[in-house]
Amino acid sequence: MENQPRSASRPTSGFAQRLKEDGWRTLEQRKRSAADRVEGIAQALGRSGAQFIENDESTLADLLNRLAGTVGNLATRLREGTFDDLVDDTRSFARRNPGLFIAAGLVAGFAVARFAKASAQRSSYRGSAEDAADDRDDRAPTLMDEVDDEAPLPGGP
């Protein structure tokens, strides 16, 4: 009797391959979306720099224009680079500037925590408003409910 691979493992490997490809496709889409957002930030920085030039604040304008160029280069790198390139860039940046890398990580962590907290509060607020509406529906009507229902609308007869 020969040992042959189970036929059940072949569809599983095909499924795993499709799942992997879908994951990469999703990551690429997110990477392009992030690049577009970063490009928008670069353009906004450039417009701000132009406004400072108009107001004769050349030092600040120069700083903003250089920052806009750097952020624009980041957008290009995001758009055109592979994930391996981005990981290598991140590693080399961390080696060159460990303090700045840690500070950036802390700022990013703080931003994510604030976003998560705000999202949870918004969700909690929606839930409590729905619960309050459900509570009103579950109780017996009061005289005030009837008055509210019969109250004339503003601007009405």
Q: What is the pLDDT of residue 95?
A: 94
Q: What is the pLDDT of residue 129?
A: 52
Distance of alpha carbon 148 from alpha carbon 138, whole angstroms: 17
Q: Concatenate the DSSP letters of all residues of 43-90 into one string.
A: HHHHHHHHHHHHTT-HHHHHHHHHHHHHHHHHHHHHHHS-HHHHHHHH
More confident residue, 154 or 111: 111
Distance of alpha carbon 137 from alpha carbon 10, whole angstroms: 56
Q: What is the pLDDT of residue 147?
A: 46
Question: pTM of the entire structure?
Answer: 0.51
Q: What is the pLDDT of residue 8?
A: 47
Domain definitions of the chain by residue range:
18-96, 97-139
For the stretch 1-53, pLDDT in tens is 445 554 444 555 788 888 888 888 888 888 888 889 889 988 988 888 888 87
Task: Write down the residue that tokens 């009103």 correspond to.
Answer: 136
For the stretch 71-130, pLDDT in tens is 888 889 888 988 888 889 889 989 998 998 898 888 888 878 887 888 787 766 665 555
Stretch 147-152: mean pLDDT: 48
Q: What is the pLDDT of residue 148?
A: 47
